[in-house]
């Protein structure tokens, strides 16, 4: 059963459009369930409470598109309204039965119908009918499973069908990733890794596109012929024949001709090739003969080889628009490094959320980002005009004049606020009743620290050292690391700089150190890796301690500490490195201050033990939230549940503050909450007065601090702690916007 289901789902995903997909489903169901008739109704585009018959097999095809049923009307409408399956021996005896005239269904009284549901919305109903033999439990389970599996494919296909880059203003809804707004042109990321992600693009240079296509095909043919020769020594002749067959397919015939026709019609080579390959593969998947059906995979395999060559050629000439909005299925931290920063204006990623690392980096760079957009029609967006609103997680495709005017107005207001905030740069971050707060920046991506200094930061509260590791293709040497750390320590001479040891794993991979795990966030991450690889840890700590010689402003922070043992082991290694360097340099070296990140729930409950071993603790609210609430910080499906203002997270933080106070251990916060205006209010209320944040948030945070009495914030926190959910807490703090904070506090979670 599972194989049959997988096959249908794959075919549906590859169908050129929703109509083909529905026909394929009905045909497969008639065959697999031995049914006499099959119908699929989908919710109408104009009115989601009306179901329209989209396809049928075994009934009169003339009724397609003509039958419409309201929710609750007839059996189909009842299934949709109740969001529940129905399995009936005689449909006509059910009280809600309505005969669909001229359908021919009277001949098939036995009916099994199930709703198609995605993201809590009923998208439609699939029903099968028979003249005799009740549908048994297995058949019911089969249809229910199929409906759940194809629901997202239908949702995607529908949104693709509805979306047109030619139509005026189309709104895309995701989650707020990084604050800010931008107007620019979409650039779709495409590394040639799969055919599906090739974006549509028009071209006027038909000769140029034909030239690169032919060149790519020629190169692949050449490689295949060489590979066939090499394989001959170790493979039977029939296996080698596959390479020859591939080469022959590329030597002429419809694969080539159809692609060239697509190009001649004004499409660029990669999407012309993608469409031809998909159409040819689709024809094969429709074949009954299993052997021939399998040939679809060969065509796709060949398609990918040519695509990769083609993309190599195309990527040589990437021309980034002046205001580039980077768009992709999964935009990653390293993708950002591929775009010249002065061109990068915004980001839209189909996957991820505000606490994904790419969103945090975008925030650090001051680039608005919209994350987690379900069914983002990525392929159709390349070159399209977009507005990104990183405050409320929306984007506008092809915005019309009125929307553009509105956003240009917002951008001007933003610029005025920024200008106004600049006046606070040299003022102390102090509440009305004289409570002093230290504001620090999070850093790691930029080698240029000027913006941080200009913002009036009092040091670096979190330097994410993994970022220089991520943008290389091998581990950086001790000397390379030394130079990187020295640069930041020198720039912030006289101010504290907290260097965090390598925190890779989770969603921060190193291309040259692959980790394959089912649950990466619960797996080999942060200090767990560096303790298992002391050579990496020791090299890094050596570089750090050497860089600190003569400046003495460095502190070391250990990520992902989940218990005392990891701390003890790390401290032993750090002490050993200090002793070694002392010996090498012949001078006594003070051990830098050492802190632990509190971001794993077990560390909250062991806060006193941890504080007994370190000089300070820093709360990582991004991870603490994900681990306390069991909500993957990267998963857009649960992004609504992720909130660092959740009462459970606030209570955990209060516990950290109380535990640390017993040993007078300083507590700071370096997660994103520290830069959220409402988060600032809550954290001050807890008595935390060291906040480290993205540079773009710093002056806004200062403005918030300067607008309140500390005593009032303490009271507000007490009230927040009596509330039972994050949205009420956010609402309570959000209402304080009336203090003339202007647009500082915008939508967020
Ligand atoms: C955190 O988890 O809050 C944190 C600051 O670390 P990172 O976001 O790098 O995991
Ligand atoms: Mg973390």
User: Residues 338-379: pLDDT tens digits?
Assistant: 788 889 999 999 988 887 888 888 888 889 999 999 888 888
Report the pLDDT value the prediction gives residue 248, as an integer from 0 to 100.
82
What 3 state SS string does 265-299 have?
CCECHHHHHHHHHHHHHHHHHCCCCHHHHHHHHHH
- Tell me which residue has its CA closest to atom 6 in ligand 1: 620
- Tell me which residue has its CA closest to atom 1 in ligand 1: 620
Q: What is the mean pLDDT of the chain?
A: 88
> What is the Å distance from ligand 1's center to 336 Cα?
19
Confirm or reject: Cβ of 622 under 6 Å from ligand 1: yes
What are the backbone angles phi and psi of residue 709, rounded to the nearest 5°? -90, 135
As a whole number, mean pLDDT of residues 206-230 equals: 86
Which residue among 361, 599, 693 is best mutated to probe the pocket of ligand 1, counting the most ligand atoms within 8 A of its Cβ?
599
Q: Determine the 3-state secondary structure of 643 from DSSP.
A: coil
Confirm or reject: Cβ of 377 under 6 Å from ligand 1: no
Determine the Cα–Cα distance for residues 749 and 747; give it in Å rounded to an integer: 7
Confidence of residue 682 (pLDDT cuts 50, 70, 90): very high
> What is the Å distance from ligand 1's center to 595 Cα?
14
Please say if the pLDDT value at position 163 is more than 60: no
Confirm or reject: Cβ of 496 under 6 Å from ligand 1: no
Determine the Cα–Cα distance for residues 93 and 130; give it in Å rounded to an integer: 15
Answer for the pair 530, 472: CB distance below 8 angstroms, yes or no.
Answer: no
Confidence of residue 289 (pLDDT cuts 50, 70, 90): low
Confirm or reject: Cβ of 363 under 6 Å from ligand 1: no
> What is the Å distance from ligand 1's center to 558 Cα?
11
**DSSP-based helix, strand, coil % in the chain, nearest 5:** 50, 15, 35
Q: What is the CB neighbour count within 10 angstroms for residue 493?
A: 11
- Tell me which residue has its CA closest to atom 8 in ligand 1: 622
C-alpha 669, offset from chain centre: 24
Confirm or reject: Cβ of 466 under 6 Å from ligand 1: no
Report the pLDDT value the prediction gives residue 233, as an integer from 0 to 100.
67
Determine the Cα–Cα distance for residues 688 and 323; give it in Å rounded to an integer: 39
Report the pLDDT value the prediction gives residue 549, as an integer from 0 to 100.
96
Report the pLDDT value the prediction gives residue 730, as an integer from 0 to 100.
94
- pLDDT tens figures, 458-505: 999 999 998 888 877 889 999 999 999 999 999 999 999 999 999 999
Determine the Cα–Cα distance for residues 129 and 563; give it in Å rounded to an integer: 60
- Tell me which residue has its CA closest to atom 4 in ligand 1: 620
- pLDDT tens figures, 704-743: 999 999 999 999 999 999 999 999 999 999 888 655 455 5
> What is the Å distance from ligand 1's center to 623 Cα?
6
Let me know if 139 is exposed, middle or buried by CB neighbors in 10 A (0-12, 13-18, 19+). Answer: buried
CA distances 133 to 87, 112, 264, 594, Å, are 12, 12, 55, 73
Q: Quick check: is 351 catalytic? A: no
As a whole number, mean pLDDT of residues 217-242 equals: 75
Q: Name the β-bridge partners of 211.
A: none
What is the percent of the chain where pLDDT is above 70? 91
Q: Determine the 3-state secondary structure of 344 from DSSP.
A: strand
| DSSP element (H, E) containing 604 | helix 601-605
Answer for the pair 460, 557: CB distance below 8 angstroms, yes or no.
Answer: no
Answer for the pair 217, 240: CB distance below 8 angstroms, yes or no.
Answer: no
- Tell me which residue has its CA closest to atom 10 in ligand 1: 623
Pairing label, strands 554-558, 667-669: unpaired
C-alpha 550, offset from chain centre: 42
Confirm or reject: Cβ of 444 under 6 Å from ligand 1: no
As a whole number, mean pLDDT of residues 239-262 equals: 82
Report the pLDDT value the prediction gives residue 748, as an integer from 0 to 100.
40
C-alpha 78, offset from chain centre: 37
Token pair for residue 365? 């760079």
Please say if the pLDDT value at position 120 is more than 50: yes
Pairing label, strands 86-88, 497-500: unpaired
Please say if the pLDDT value at position 388 is more than 80: yes
Answer for the pair 339, 328: CB distance below 8 angstroms, yes or no.
Answer: no
| DSSP element (H, E) containing 537 | helix 534-548
Confirm or reject: Cβ of 507 under 6 Å from ligand 1: no
| Strands ordered across the beta sheet of 324-328 | 170-173, 394-397, 385-389, 181-188, 324-328, 344-349, 369-371, 175-178
| C-alpha R_g of the chain | 30
Please say if the pLDDT value at position 164 is more than 70: no
Please say if the pLDDT value at position 160 is more than 70: no
Closest CA to 277 of 254, 255, 309: 255
- pLDDT tens figures, 395-442: 999 999 989 999 999 899 888 888 889 999 999 999 999 999 999 999
Query: Which residue shows structure tokens 């990321």?
Result: 189
Report the pLDDT value the prediction gives residue 358, as an integer from 0 to 100.
85
Confidence of residue 1 (pLDDT cuts 50, 70, 90): low
> What is the Å distance from ligand 2's center to 516 Cα?
19
> What is the Å distance from ligand 1's center to 598 Cα?
10
- Would you tell me the crossing angle of helices 18-32 and 2-14 to the nearest 10 degrees? 160
As a whole number, mean pLDDT of residues 169-178 equals: 87
Q: Name the β-bridge partners of 667.
A: 617
Confirm or reject: Cβ of 157 under 6 Å from ligand 1: no
Q: Which of 280, 670, 690, 710 is catalytic?
A: 670
Confirm or reject: Cβ of 461 under 6 Å from ligand 1: no
Which residue among 617, 631, 670, 688 is best mutated to probe the pocket of ligand 1, counting the most ligand atoms within 8 A of its Cβ?
670
> What is the Å distance from ligand 1's center to 621 Cα?
7
Confirm or reject: Cβ of 621 under 6 Å from ligand 1: yes
Report the pLDDT value the prediction gives residue 8, as an integer from 0 to 100.
78
Side-chain-side CA neighbours of residue 456 (13 Å):
19
Q: Quick check: is 56 catalytic? A: no
Q: Which of 357, 435, 646, 690 is catalytic?
A: 357
Closest CA to 638 of 363, 389, 372: 372
Report the pLDDT value the prediction gives residue 534, as an integer from 0 to 100.
95
As a whole number, mean pLDDT of residues 283-294 equals: 69
pTM of this prediction? 0.77
Closest CA to 190 of 318, 7, 370, 73: 318
Closest ligand to Cα 625 = 1
Closest ligand to Cα 671 = 1
Answer for the pair 90, 109: CB distance below 8 angstroms, yes or no.
Answer: yes
Determine the Cα–Cα distance for residues 722 and 729; give it in Å rounded to an integer: 9
């Amino acid at each position: 059963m599972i194989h049959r289901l997988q096959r249908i789902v794959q075919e549906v995903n590859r169908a050129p459009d929703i109509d083909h997909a529905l026909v394929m489903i009905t045909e497969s169901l008639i065959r697999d369930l031995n049914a006499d008739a099959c119908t699929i109704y989908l919710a109408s585009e104009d009115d989601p409470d009306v179901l329209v018959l989209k396809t049928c097999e075994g009934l009169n095809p003339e009724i397609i598109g003509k039958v419409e049923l309201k929710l609750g009307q007839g059996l189909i409408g009842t299934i949709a309204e109740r969001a529940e399956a129905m399995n009936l021996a005689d449909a006509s005896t059910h009280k809600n039965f309505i005969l669909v005239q001229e359908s021919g269904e009277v001949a098939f009284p036995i009916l099994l119908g199930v709703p198609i549901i995605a993201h809590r919305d009923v998208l439609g109903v699939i029903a099968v009918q028979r003249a005799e033999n009740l549908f048994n439990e297995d058949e019911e389970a089969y249809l229910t499973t199929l409906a759940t599996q194809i629901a997202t494919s239908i949702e995607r296909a529908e949104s693709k069908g509805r979306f047109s880059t030619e139509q005026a203003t189309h709104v895309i809804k995701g989650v707020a990733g990084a604050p800010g707004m931008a107007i620019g042109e979409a650039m779709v990321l495409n590394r040639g890794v799969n055919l599906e992600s090739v974006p549509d693009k028009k071209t006027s240079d038909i000769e140029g596109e034909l030239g690169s296509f032919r060149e790519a095909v020629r190169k692949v043919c050449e490689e295949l012929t060489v590979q066939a020769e090499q394989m001959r020594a170790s493979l039977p002749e029939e296996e080698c024949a596959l390479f020859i067959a591939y080469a022959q397919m590329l030597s002429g015939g419809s694969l080539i001709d159809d692609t060239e026709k697509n190009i001649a019609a004004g499409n660029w080579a990669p999407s012309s090739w993608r469409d031809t390959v998909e159409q040819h593969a689709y024809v094969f998947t429709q074949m009954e003969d299993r052997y021939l059906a399998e040939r679809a995979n060969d065509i796709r395999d060949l398609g990918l080889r040519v695509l990769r060559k083609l993309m190599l050629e195309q990527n040589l000439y990437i021309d980034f628009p002046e205001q580039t909005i980077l768009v992709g299925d999964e935009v990653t931290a390293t993708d950002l490094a591929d775009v010249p920063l002065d061109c990068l204006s915004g980001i839209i990623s189909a996957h991820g959320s505000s606490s994904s690392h790419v969103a945090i980096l975008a925030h650090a760079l001051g680039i608005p980002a919209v994350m987690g957009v379900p069914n983002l029609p990525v392929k159709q967006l390349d070159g399209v005009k977009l507005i990104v609103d990183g405050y409320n997680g929306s984007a506008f495709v092809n915005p019309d004049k009125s929307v553009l005017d509105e956003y240009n107005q917002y951008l001007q207001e933003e610029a005025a606020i920024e200008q106004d905030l600049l006046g606070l740069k040299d003022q102390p971050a102090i509440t009305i009743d004289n409570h002093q707060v230290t504001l620090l920046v999070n850093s790691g991506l930029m080698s240029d620290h000027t913006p941080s200094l200009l913002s009036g930061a009092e040091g670096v509260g979190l330097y994410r050292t993994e970022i220089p590791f991520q943008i290389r293709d091998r581990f950086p040497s001790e000397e390379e690391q030394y130079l990187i750390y020295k640069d930041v320590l020198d720039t912030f001479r006289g101010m504290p700089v907290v260097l965090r040891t390598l925190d890779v794993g989770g969603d921060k991979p190193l291309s040259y150190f692959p980790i394959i795990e089912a649950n990466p966030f619960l797996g080999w991450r942060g200090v767990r890796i560096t303790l298992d690889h002391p050579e990496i840890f020791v090299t890094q700590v050596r570089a750090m301690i050497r860089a600190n010689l003569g400046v003495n402003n460095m502190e070391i922070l250990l990520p992902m500490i989940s218990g005392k043992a990891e701390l003890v082991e790390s401290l032993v290694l750090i002490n050993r490195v200090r002793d070694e360097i002392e010996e090498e340099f012949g001078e006594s070296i003070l051990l830098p201050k050492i802190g632990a990140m509190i971001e794993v729930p077990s560390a909250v409950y062991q806060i006193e033990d941890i504080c007994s071993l370190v000089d300070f603790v820093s709360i990582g609210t991004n991870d603490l939230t994900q681990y306390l609430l069991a909500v993957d910080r990267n998963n857009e499906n649960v992004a609504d549940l992720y909130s660092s203002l959740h009462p459970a997270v606030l209570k955990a933080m209060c516990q950290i503050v109380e535990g640390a106070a017993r040993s007078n251990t300083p507590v700071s916060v370096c997660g994103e909450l520290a830069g959220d205006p409402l988060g600032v209010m809550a954290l001050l209320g807890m008595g935390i007065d060291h906040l480290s944040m993205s540079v773009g948030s710093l002056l806004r945070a200062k403005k918030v601090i300067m607008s309140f009495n500390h005593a009032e914030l303490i009271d507000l926190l007490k009230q927040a702690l009596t509330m039972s959910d994050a949205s009420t807490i956010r609402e309570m703090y959000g209402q304080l916007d009336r203090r003339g904070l202007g647009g500082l506090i915008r939508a967020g979670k």
